[in-house]
Structures are given as structure tokens and as C-alpha cells.
């Protein structure tokens, strides 16, 4: 079972590594990071560099494809290596998935038209503009399309996918393997639970400031 | 504020990337992945390679040091580049931290003698044998030592650290930035909540089989 995680400059590392950490535990999983060519790809912070071990051309027919988000998503919204690969790979994929603003890339490629989907909380209005039906959920299944909310949601999304692919027992085994028993020391992980003043300031400072809300 | 995350062969990627995703958002943070030399370092799965941008010798006095775990931890329990660096860097660090079996490396270096600490659930007996006082908690502070439980616990640990370093407001901002509002689709993330049969099978198959329980 080939699982390809797409990388692009200024991606958000946890968007990609959260699902990797879950999915590489699946029996028979062959997880591959890919980009337009084999290269080192640096994240949004400029301080984390992951190696893309394959070019998109090397992995034309993944069983599962995962598109992370991050500030670099804005450069992936028009035809180019990632979009071209996505559109072609989606024709034969079993699952087409995203984390965070990776959903905007899927939507930009025309893959989420009329479909229920989620994304980073600040990007939900943008997802609607791109033709999807935005849902404020941790992850959303619509047929073979599975989209996760922001950044850390890739872990929840991938566990749900593991359950669909390999059964509940296997997903539970993986959850135990990664001791995923979250205990956030604050309750500020969603605009619904964070202080209103923080949400307001954060929204105003974000790259979605003009489109959010 | 220099934050150094140590890398070694067959580390667990989320142990390192979870804290990175939180800590790089801290004001003034300069996060650096380091190993015995600048090199590409491959994780436990063999499918994820992170670049260590510095040698340990380049970063002798980090403000915060983070030691991840993973199967490769077993090769880091005796004097060598990582242990030597840890022991020296700990003398001037503000915070010395670990995720998962990274705590065993700290303990092996003699840094947790008599201290309350936690680690991956299967490794708690081993942590005790190494002289620490094991706690079954998500993360444990003891003075400047902060240890997280297994794998995904690095996110919780790093948010708690962010609060100590930069204040609750800043930690809450980061939690919102990474939309850390976990919703595990299963309740199997701890031996206390997973099915007993699964815990038993998992324990028997683990590298801690002889020492656990």
C-alpha cells in the first residue's frame, strides 16, 4: 500500500509528520515523501528540513495521498507540479486526503467541488469560495476524500483513516503505540474555546485576515 | 533563545517534530536540529529523514534542549557524542527536556537521578532502574527537568513549557495557531484506556517485553 505525502516549500511540518507517524505503522504501508523532484524541503519556520525521497513522477499512482498545509499552500493554487500530480493521482487513489490548508490545494485542483470538507479554522471561508462545503469538524469524510482541520488534526484524521483501511483493532494498536492520550495544558485549541480577544487578535494578524469571518 | 532538538538514527519523528511545531512559535525562538555532525538523520520507520543543521559542537550552550526517543535510544545509553553533549549542555541550560524514551537517555547520562520523570508507558520500569522516580503522567516538571510521556505527548509537554517560558497567553496563542483541539477517534492511547488484550499483546511484542510490567 503506497502512501505518498506531498511536500512543498513552507509547508507546516506537523501537518505532514502527524499522519506519517500514524500511517507508517499500518501493515504493508510504504510511506513516501515526494515533491516535484527529490530534494530537501524546508518548512514554514525555516528551521526544519524534510527530505522528499521521490519525485511526483516516480509515484503516479499512490493508494493514499496526503496533502499538508502551511503558508506555502498559497503558491500551490494554480497548475504546476503539485496540482498536476494531484489531479492525475486522484483518478486512481483509494483515499485522497489533506491536513490544514492542504484542503485548499485539493479544492484549487477541483477535487472538492460540492464536497463536504474541512480545513484550518481560519481558512473555512476560503474553502467555501473554492467550491467545497465547509464543515467545522476535526476531520470530514466525503466518499474517498478525507480532510483534516488545522495542523495537529492530522493525527486524528490519520487514525480515522487507519481504522477505515485496516480496521478498528489496528487503529487502536497504533494509537497505543504513539501513546495518543492528549492532555492539552490549555483549552485554547479552537476558536470555540480560546479567549475571544485572542481569537480576534490572531485572526487580524493572519494571512486570512481579509477573507476570514 | 536557542532551542536544540537532538537527533539520532531511528528516532521517533513525532517526538521531535511535535515540540518543534510548538516551540518555533515562541517569540525569539531559534530552533536547531543537531546531531554529532551536520547530516541527514532517518527515523525509526526508515521513511522520514530530517536534516540536522548543526553539529553538537556548534551548539554547546542551548537555553532549551530536547531529547526525543525512539528505538534508536538504545544505542545512546553509553558515553558518546549525544551523552557527552547532553552532560555538558545541561550544566548551563535553562530547561532540559525529553519526549518518550528520550528520558532514558537523560537518565542514562545521570541527569535524572532521584528526580520525578516520565517516559513512554512501556519504559517506566526501565526509567526507575536508571535512577529516576517514574510518574505515570502526561508530562512531569522537576526543577528545570521536564519529561514527556510517549510520542504524541511532546505536544502537550512543549505547550506546558511554552507557558513557563513565555507566559500562559503566549502558550494559548500557539495552541490556537496549531489548532490543538484533539479529538481522537478511538480511546486507546493509554494502557489505562486501551483494551486489556491489546495492551497485553502490545507489551509482549515490544522491545521492553522483558522489563515491562
What's the mean pLDDT in B144-168? Answer: 98
pLDDT more than 70, % of chain B: 98
Smallest Cβ–Cβ distance between B194 and the set A51, A176, A199 belongs to A176
User: Which of chain A's residues have a Cβ under 8 Å away from the Cβ of B186?
Assistant: 159, 163, 168, 171-172, 175
Does the structure show a pLDDT above 70 at B181?
yes
Which residue among the candidates A100, A112, A132, A159 is catalytic per the annotation? A100
Q: Residue B213 — very low, low, confident or very high, per pLDDT cuts 50/70/90?
A: very low
CB atoms within 10 A of CB B5: 30
Which of these, A147, A121, A125, lies nearest to A136 by C-alpha position? Answer: A121
Digits of tens for pLDDT over chain A (213 positions)?
999 999 999 999 999 999 999 999 999 999 999 999 999 999 999 999 999 999 999 999 999 999 999 999 999 999 999 999 999 999 999 999 999 999 999 999 999 999 999 999 999 999 999 999 999 999 999 999 999 999 999 999 999 999 999 999 999 999 999 999 999 999 999 999 999 999 999 999 998 876 544
**Are B16 and B33 spatial neighbours (Cβ–Cβ below 8 Å)?**
yes
Cβ-based contacts of B151 with chain A (< 8 Å): 21, 177-180
Confidence at residue B55, expressed as pLDDT on a 0 to 100 scale = 98
The DSSP annotation for chain A comes to: -EEEEE--TTB-HHHHHHHHHHHTTSTT-EEEEEESSSEEEEBTTSS-EEEE-EEGGG-SS-SEEEE--SGGGGGGSSSSHHHHHHHHHHTT-SEEEE-TTHHHHHHHTTSSTT-EE---GGGHHHHHHTT-EE--SSEEEETTEEEE-STTHHHHHHHHHHHHHH-HHHHHHHHHHTT-----SSS-SSTTTS-HHHHHHHHHHSTTTTT--
Nearest alpha carbon to residue B199 among B207, B190, B208: B190
Q: Does residue B210 register a pLDDT over 70?
A: no
B151 and A180 within 8 Å at the Cβ level: the answer is yes
Q: How far apart are CA B65 and CA B98, in angstroms?
A: 8
Taking contacts as CB-CB distances below 8 angstroms, the residues of chain A near B18 are: 14
A100 is catalytic: yes
Residue of A nearest to B152 (CA): A180
Q: How confident is the model at residue B211 (pLDDT cuts 50, 70, 90)?
A: low
Contact of B109 with B160, CB cutoff 8 Å: no
- The whole-angstrom distance between residue B180's C-alpha and the CA centroid of its chain comes to 18
ipTM of the complex: 0.96
Cα distance from A94 to chain B (closest Cα, Å)? 21
Q: Determine contact, residues B126/B208, Cβ cutoff 8 Å.
A: yes
The torsion of the CA quartet B197, B199, B202, B204, rounded to 10 degrees, works out to: -80
- The distance of A91 to chain B (nearest Cα, Å) reads 25
- Bridge partners (DSSP) of residue A52 are A39
Q: Which of residues 84-123 of A touch B (CB under 8 A)?
A: 100, 120-121
Q: Give dist(CA B29, CA A62) in Å, integer.
A: 37
Which listed residue (B23, B50, B64, B100) is catalytic?
Answer: B100
CB-CB neighbors (< 8 A) of B24 in chain A: 45, 47-48
pLDDT at res. B207: 87
- Residue B20 backbone phi and psi in degrees, to 5: -60, -45
Q: Does A212 touch chain B (CB under 8 A)?
A: no
Is B152's Cβ below 8 Å from some Cβ in A? yes
* Interface contact B189, partner A, CB < 8 A: yes
User: How many whole angstroms separate alpha carbon B186 and alpha carbon A171?
Assistant: 8
Is the predicted pLDDT of residue B12 greater than 60, yes or no? yes
Cβ distance B182 to A184 less than 8 Å, yes or no, reads yes
Q: What is the dihedral of CA B71, B38, B155, A119, to 10 degrees?
A: -110
User: What is the C-alpha separation between A192 and A112, in angstroms, rounded?
Assistant: 25
pLDDT of residue B157: 98
Q: In the CATH scheme, what architecture does the domain A2-183 have?
A: 3-Layer(aba) Sandwich (3.40)
Q: How high is the pLDDT of residue A210?
A: 60
Task: Please report the pLDDT score of residue B208 as a whole number.
Answer: 87
Mean pLDDT of B91-96: 98
* Binary contact (A173, B159; C-beta < 8 A): no
Which of B12, B49, B182 has its CB closest to that of A182? B182
Asked if A58 is an interface residue toward chain B (Cβ–Cβ < 8 A), one would say no
Three-class secondary structure assignment of chain B: CEEEEECCCCECHHHHHHHHHHHCCCCCCEEEEEECCCEEEEECCCCCEEEECEEHHHCCCCCEEEECCCHHHHHHCCCCHHHHHHHHHHCCCCEEEECCCHHHHHHHCCCCCCCEECCCHHHHHHHHHCCCEECCCCEEEECCEEEECCCCHHHHHHHHHHHHHHCHHHHHHHHHHCCCCCCCCCCCCCCCCCCHHHHHHHHHHCCCCCCCC
- Which of A138, A150, A181 is the closest to B183 by Cβ? A138
Among B28, B149, B171, B180, the strongest candidate for a mutation testing the A interface, having the largest count of A CBs within 10 A, is: B180
The domain locations on chain A are: 2-183
In this prediction the pTM is 0.96
Which residues on adjacent β-strands are paired with residue A140?
A147
Give pLDDT, residue A211: 53
Residues of A with Cβ-Cβ distance to B139 under 8 angstroms = 185
Amino acid at each position: 500500500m503506497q502512501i505518498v505525502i506531498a511536500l512543498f516549500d513552507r509547508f507546516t511540518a506537523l501537518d505532514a509528520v502527524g499522519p506519517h507517524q500514524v500511517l507508517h505503522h499500518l501493515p504493508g504501508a510504504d510511506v513516501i515523501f515526494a515533491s516535484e523532484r527529490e530534494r530537501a524541503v524546508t518548512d514554514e519556520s525555516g528551521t526544519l528540513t524534510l527530505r522528499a525521497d521521490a519525485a511526483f513522477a516516480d509515484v503516479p499512482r499512490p493508494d493514499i495521498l496526503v496533502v499538508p498545509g502551511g503558508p506555502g499552500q498559497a503558491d500551490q493554487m494554480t497548475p504546476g507540479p503539485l496540482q498536476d500530480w494531484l489531479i492525475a493521482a486522484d483518478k486512481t487513489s483509494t483515499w485522497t486526503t489533506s491536513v490544514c490548508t492542504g484542503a485548499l490545494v485539493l479544492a484549487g485542483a477541483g477535487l472538492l467541488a460540492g464536497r463536504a470538507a474541512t480545513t484550518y479554522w481560519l481558512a473555512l471561508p476560503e474553502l467555501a469560495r473554492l467550491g467545497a462545503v465547509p464543515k467545522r469538524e476535526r476531520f470530514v469524510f466525503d466518499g474517498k476524500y478525507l480532510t483534516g482541520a488545522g495542523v495537529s488534526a492530522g493525527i486524528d484524521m490519520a487514525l480515522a483513516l487507519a481504522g477505515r483501511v485496516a480496521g478498528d483493532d489496528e487503529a487502536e494498536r497504533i494509537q497505543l503505540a504513539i501513546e495518543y492520550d492528549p492532555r492539552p495544558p490549555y483549552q485554547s485549541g479552537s476558536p470555540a474555546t480560546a479567549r475571544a480577544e485572542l481569537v480576534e487578535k490572531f485572526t487580524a494578524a493572519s494571512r486570512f485576515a481579509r477573507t476570514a469571518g
